[in-house]
Structure 1
Amino acid sequence: MRILCWHVHAAWMTSFVQGAHEYYVPVLPDRGADGKGRAQTYEWPDTVTELGPEQLRDAEFDAVVLQRPHELELFARWTGRAPGRRGVPAVYVEHNTPRGDVDDWQHWLAARTDIPIVHVTEYNRMIWDNGIAPTVVIEHGVPDYGYHYQGYLDSLVAAINEPVRRRRVAGLDLLERIATQVPVSVYGMGTDQLLSRITDGLDEVGDFSQDYLHERMVEHFGYLHPYRWTSNGLALIEAMTLGLPVLAIGATAAYETVPAAAGLVSASPDRLADMAARWRMEPEEPRERGRAAREHALRHFGLPRFLTEWDALLKEVCA
């Protein structure tokens, strides 16, 4: 099957392109948001091909996977075809939780029946007003990165991209509160901005590639997921596959993602900090919980399940 999909979220896309299809990703000279092309810091298979807008008009696709509202217009303009029943079979992946007032949480495809909305969590499907649009849930899938937990650093680790811009969404204020009681390291794109904002209680900050991020994460005794309003963090699931125990703010899909054996999910930052303090004194407990986290992640978020569910959906849409 020939599938067109914009490179929006590198980690999600890395899993998606592992399937048995041909994948085409739009590319622009500046590799901006609408034309990133192939990933530069992730390993993608040779089945992923870059195409510029002028090449897209003559290319043939069996399906298009949309991820942002403006991609419907972009696809029509660049290919000369419409996404959906009157053109190229399409699905829309909703990566995000809704914003604004709860009464305004109607999805922009809610009035259409020809483009299924693919939610990445059951929470997302429940919280969005999907109207008459068909919906399906395909939860994240990640490769098995292997068990690498070490836990010798006396600090938690959190992975947050652009934490200052996404302050309340990412739970940066909650992280700050926990960091006054337990050291926390923060990694991700744009974390250098933290240096001018908060220093007390934070162990270190920095921007790293995925491979190096994984190498650093496993040195810490636990993973902190402080997000208030996110669908489900791929970094959280990756941390679990690596064997890290989890402390997560009890919001959105966290309760379904992290079982009790793998750590603690709570709406109270203080309870999370107390658990972290206990783990610092009893290092065997986080190690055991990390093994449980890995087992759960492989069972529920394994790549084979993810790809099988996507294959079934694409086959149905293209039938």
Structure 2
Amino acid sequence: MRILLWHVHGSWTTAFVQGPHTYLVPVTPGRGPDGLGRAVTFDWPASVIEMSPDQLRDTDIDLVVLQRPHELDLARRWLGRRPGTDIPAVYLEHNAPGGSVPDTRHPAAGHRGLTIVHVTYFNQLFWDCAGTPTTVIEHGIVDPGPQWTGHRERAAVVVNEPLRRGRTTGTDLLARFARAAPLDVFGMRTHGIAHHLGLPEERCHARELVQNELHRAMAACRMYLHPVRWTSLGLSLLEAMHLGMPVVALATTEVVEAVPPEAGVVSNRPDVLLDAVRGFIAEPGRAREAGRAARTAALARYGLPRFLDDWDRLIKEVTR
């Protein structure tokens, strides 16, 4: 199969392109948001091929994977074909709904020729898709291996743009957690977060790393902290579990399904979460056991083979 998709979410796409198909990613002059082409910081196979809009128009394509509302029109203009009508298409929804939850109407609602693919059952439940067919294919992770050492008595946090996203990502909670354990905050545009929170750098150190370096740095921390209030299920959380890290997380969106009790502590009570952070920092043996359970759970539910099998089943269904 030749599958067209835009390079939107690097981590998710890295898992998706491990399948047996040919993956066409648009590339434009300047490599803007609609034409990023192949990833630079992720390891993608040779089956991911860059194509310009002009090349795409003359290319046989078996399936279009849409991920943003404007891609419906973009595909019509670039391909000369209508997704879901002239060419099979699915709309992959990465995010939980925003705005007037739970009444948020999905941008692909009403497009009967499409199937909306949600990455969590929570998202499927909360988006109003107005009769458009939906399914769920949960995340899959390219296994980074059990890298946890936990020799650094710090909590790892992975969040992109924490200053802009604020309460959504639980940025305001980090000062409280930093009193329980020093934090290593990884992600894009994290610079200045310690100053923003009124913390010394030692208590809240920000770093932006490429994927392989990120995994090693995360795994050196004693535990993984997930303070996010509202988002889809974070791939960084699942990567931390694959690394063998114990988890402390807010009991929001899909987290309660992803993290079993033996893998860490999930709660909406700040006192419970703070005690859990202190406990894992003080007891490396307990952290090790919880991390092992986290890895076992992540491999069972979010392993790459299951993810690719689920996608292959859906691809065959919508292209037959």
- 2: distance between equivalents of 1:5 and 1:114? 17
Structure-1 separation of matches of 2:127 and 2:98: 10
Rounded Cα–Cα distance in structure 1 between residues aligned with 2:194 and 2:268: 27
1:207 maps to amino acid:
E
Q: Distance in 2 between matches of 1:144 and 1:199?
A: 36
Q: What letter is aligned with 1:83?
A: P
Does structure 1 conserve the Cα–Cα contact (< 8 Å) formed by 2:102 and 2:126? Answer: no
SS at match of 2:265: strand
Structure 1 distance, partners of 2:248, 2:178, is 13
Q: Do residues 253 (structure 1) and 254 (structure 2) align?
A: yes
Q: 2:5 is matched with which residue?
A: 5
* Paired position in structure 2 for 1:22: 22
Is 1:72 the counterpart of 2:72? The answer is yes
SS in 2 for 1:68: coil
The answer for the alignment partner of 1:92 in structure 2 is 91
SS at match of 1:180: helix
> Mean Cα displacement is larger for which, 221-230 or 94-103?
94-103
Q: Residues 178-212 of structure 1: CA distance to partner in whole angstroms, max 9, x if unpaired?
A: 11232111001111131441251633111110110
For 2:252, the aligned partner's letter is: A
1:147-186 alignment runs, 5 A limit? 147-186=146-185
- Counting aligned pairs with the same residue, the percent is 50
Question: What is the rounded CA distance, in whole Å, between the counterparts of 1:240 and 1:55 in structure 2?
Answer: 41
Task: Name the aligned partner's letter for residue 105 of structure 2.
Answer: Q
Matched, 1:318 2:319: yes
State the distance in 2 between where 1:90 and 1:193 align: 42
Corresponding position of 2:39: 39
- Report the aligned-residue RMSD: 1.1
SS at match of 1:284: helix
Structure 2 residues not aligned, in runs of 5+:
none
Match of 1:125 in 2: 124
Q: Tell me how far apart the structure 2 counterparts of residues 103 and 204 of structure 1 sit (CA, whole Å).
A: 36
1:49 aligns with 2:49: yes
Q: For 2:245, give the aligned amino acid.
A: L
Q: Secondary structure at the match of 1:286?
A: helix
> Cα gap change, 1:203/1:108 in structure 2, threshold over 3 Å: closer, same or farther?
closer
Q: Match for residue 197 of structure 1?
A: 196
* 8 Å Cα contact 2:190/2:207 also seen in 1: yes
1:224 aligns with 2:225: yes
In structure 1, distance between residues paired with 2:164 and 2:153 = 28
Equivalent position amino acid for 1:139 in 2 = E
Q: Give the aligned residue type for 1:127.
A: F
CA deviation string 1:81-125 (max 9, x = no partner): 1100x2110000010111111364111222122100000000000
Shift of 1:270: 2.6
Number of residue pairs aligned between Structure 1 and Structure 2: 318
Residues 241-293 of structure 1, C-alpha deviation per residue, up to 9 Å, x if partnerless? Answer: 00000001110001001000000111123311111111222210010000000
Name the structure 1 match of 2:141: 142
Residue 237 of structure 2 is matched in structure 1 by: 236
- Match of 1:50, SS state, is strand
Runs of 4 or more above 6 Å deviation: none
Q: Which residue pairs with 1:60 in the alignment?
A: 60
Asked whether the 8 Å contact 1:155–1:203 carries over to 2, the reply is no
Q: Secondary structure at the match of 1:166?
A: helix
List gaps (5 residues or longer) in structure 1.
Answer: none
User: Contact 2:90–2:116 at 8 Å: present in 1 too?
Assistant: yes
The yes-or-no answer on 1:83 pairing with 2:88 is no
> Counterpart of 2:283?
282
SS at 2:316 equivalent: helix
CA–CA separation in structure 2 for the residues paired with 1:89 and 1:58: 16
Q: TM-score, normalised by structure 1?
A: 0.97
Contact 1:180 1:200 in 2 (8 A): no
Say whether 1:209 aligns with 2:228: no
- Tell me the equivalent position of 2:108: 109
> Are the structure 2 counterparts of residues 43 and 23 from structure 1 closer, same or farther at C-alpha, using a change threshold of 3 Å?
same
